[in-house]
Amino acid sequence: MSKPAILTVDDDPMVSAAITRDLRSRYGSGYRVVRATSGEEALSALATLALRGTPVALIAADQRMPGMTGIELLEQARSHAPEAKSLLLTAYADTDVAIRAINSIGLDYYLLKPWDPPEERLYPVVDDLLGDWQAAHPDHTSDVRVVGHRWSERSHELKTFLARNHVPYQWYDVERDAEGERLRDLAGAEVTDLPLVLVPDGETLRAPTTLAVAAALGLRTAADQPLYDVCIVGGGPAGLAAAVYAASEGLSTVVVEREAPGGQAGQSAAIENYLGFPKGLTGADLTQRAVAQVSRFGAEMVVARDVTGLETRGPVRAVLLDGEGSIEARAVIVATGVSYRRLEARGLDELTGRGVYYGATASEASQCEGDDVYIVGAANSAGQAALNLARHAKRVVLVVRGPSLGATMSRYLVERIETSPSIEVKVRTEVVAARGDGHLEAITLVDRDSGQTEDVDTSWLFVFIGAAPRTDWLGDEVARDDHGFVVTGPDLVAGGRAHGWPLSRPPFALETSVPGVFAAGDVRLESMKRVASAVGEGGMAVYLVHRYLATT
């Protein structure tokens, strides 16, 4: 939380120093006292505070200043800090002007100089003004603010990154929100500077990368130690479970996650069949609980870093990071999960992030208020998204290739979808094209039986059509099947195929073709693709890491 600011303005250096000193000595623990020596400097300071999201509680300005009087400054300051209390420091000769300013600009109070002793003449006045301001702002918090375009792919990526990392933020659309337009103008931002990320007590970030945002927020983006017992790549359920078990059992542990903890499960609006939660819980809630456990046991979490390679360095395994650097560990657990496959349809790629989205966070539902939303897919993830979006959208249409939902979706979800008045299911149907000027405006559906096409207007298309692993970074040493899933344990030697296994002992159950490198969760061949099984495999992988380390 950012401290509210008190701004002092006086062109006389000695007076400026005195008023700043007196205010800091009394209010410095609860307020940030900012000093300016001219009206222009004060307006610049107010613009900076506005961009940083720092509330201004009080402006104390001298009346007689060259270039801009105190009253003129306080009047202009309203555009930057409209709720700040105003205090005019004036000489006896200017009391008439000050009294008129109470009516003309809403001046809150004027104080004759000098104010010595401050305990009698200054502090009682300021106490009253700050007390009134605090009464009107009882629960002020300074969240991160994102300023951009509604249909900007980069804005969507940053908002998703913040939401999935549980960073509170406020979103301002420069085309729809007056405050967004004002913040853009204050920053002097061009179109290429958007989105802006305004961090409390930090510099304004212009079209930043997620790595830059993570660094500005104080999230860990680099490992602290030169060598770990285990490095876990991926922060989904399998990776987080592995981190909890590894760290709690005394292994030095680091988790590397390129986006945000939680994986696909972290984006789920509701996980209702997870053991121990009879009312269900959101993916974000499950992730937040797991991350708290990881932190409690002392594991490190490195975010916003992509992993680009894996090297064997004698007894050590090295995970290579994007840009530069690597993390060395005695063992590695690959828990990178899977990503949604791309939908092959004309015009879709150009509109990705501009109305076409792969997966959906629970927080996106409110943005679809009153709109028609289309979802492609028939698995549980699509069903959960449909129910969540239906709470806000006017209508949700599930587009399903197959003849029904029952073959691929859990029964409890099918029943809820069938009884929802705002959800429509189109079976034996595909999306074959999309179009729009700058953002999605319409899609083309085709009936798979008749071949008949239909154009429908929509600004929202969410795609959940199965998943594929992202495992190219593992290189040729780690055996994978034709779809990229990692081969482990007995499958490495099944049917007489050795897959390059180099040791005389058989591989452990979740061990890959590189000894000391294990795979857990959805990335592994023949895994169950369920949250509970991923958590179980994460714990099992740590047990096998212990066995491996005992043999080296």
The alpha-helical segments, DSSP class H, found in 218-359 are 237-248, 283-296
Q: CB-based contacts of 460: which residues, under 8 Å, 6+ apart?
A: 355, 357, 368, 371, 372, 373, 374, 393, 440
Cis, peptide link before residue 118, omega less than 30° from 0? no
Phi and psi dihedrals of 91, rounded to 5? -90, 165
pLDDT at 305 (0 to 100): 94
Mean pLDDT of the chain, nearest integer: 91
Instruction: Name the band, by pLDDT with cuts 50, 70 and 90, for residue 138.
Output: low
Residues in contact with 65: Cβ distance below 8 Å, sequence separation at least 6, in sequence order:
9, 10, 11, 38, 39, 73
Q: What is the pLDDT of residue 448?
A: 96
Can you give the pLDDT at residue 181? 93
Q: Which domains does the chain have, with CATH numbers?
A: 5-136 (3.40.50.2300), 144-216 (3.40.30.10), 227-321+475-550 (3.50.50.60), 349-465 (3.50.50.60)
Task: Quote the Cα angle for 133-134-140, to 5°.
Answer: 110
Site of tokens 């629970």: 362
Which of 86-95, 132-141, 532-541 is modeled with the greatest confidence?
532-541
Q: Is the pLDDT of residue 279 over 70?
A: no
Averaged over 421-440, what is the pLDDT? 96
pLDDT for the residue numbered 320 = 97
- Select the more confidently predicted residue: 335 or 156: 335
**What angle do helix axes 411-418 and 380-389 make, rounded to 10 degrees?**
30
Reply yes or no on whether the pLDDT at 432 is more than 60: yes
Instruction: Report the alpha-carbon distance of residue 178 to residue 169 in Å, rounded.
Output: 17
pLDDT number for residue 375: 97
Q: What pLDDT score was predicted for residue 141? A: 52
Task: Give the model's confidence band at 143: pLDDT under 50 very low, under 70 low, under 90 confident, else very high.
Answer: confident
pLDDT digits (tens, 9 = 90+) for 228-268: 999 999 999 999 999 999 999 999 999 999 988 988 787 77
**pLDDT at 362 (0 to 100):** 60
Token representation of residue 184:
């853009």
Higher pLDDT, 113 or 448: 448
pLDDT of 387 strictly over 70? yes
With 70 as the cut, is the pLDDT of residue 499 above it? no
Sheet strands (E) in 143-285: 144-148, 169-173, 196-198, 205-206, 227-233, 253-257
Q: Which residues of 99-129 are buried (b: 16+ CB within 10 A; e: fewer)?
A: eebeeebebbbbbebebeebeeebbebbeeb
The DSSP bridge partners found for residue 517 are 332
Does the pLDDT value for residue 455 go beyond 80? yes
Say how far residue 430 (Cα) sits from the centre of its chain.
Answer: 32
| Amino acid of residue 172 | Y
Rg of the Cα trace of the chain? Answer: 29
Q: What's the pLDDT tens digit per position in 20-65?
A: 999 999 999 899 999 999 999 999 999 999 888 889 999 999 999 9
Alpha-carbon distance 535 to 242, whole Å?
A: 8
Provide, rounded to the nearest whole percent, the portion of the chain with pLDDT above 70.
97
Q: Which of 41-55, 77-91, 447-461 has the highest mean pLDDT?
A: 447-461
pLDDT of residue 369: 87
* Residue 396, beta-bridge partner list: 373, 423
Q: What is the pLDDT of residue 188?
A: 93
Which position has the higher pLDDT, 386 or 497? Answer: 386
Query: Does residue 1 have a pLDDT over 70?
Result: no
Cα(364)–Cα(160) distance, integer angstroms: 9
140 pLDDT band, cuts 50/70/90, is: very low
Beta pairing partners, 319 = 310, 327
Mean pLDDT across 175-191: 92
pTM: 0.74
What values do phi and psi take at 31, rounded to 5?
A: -135, 150
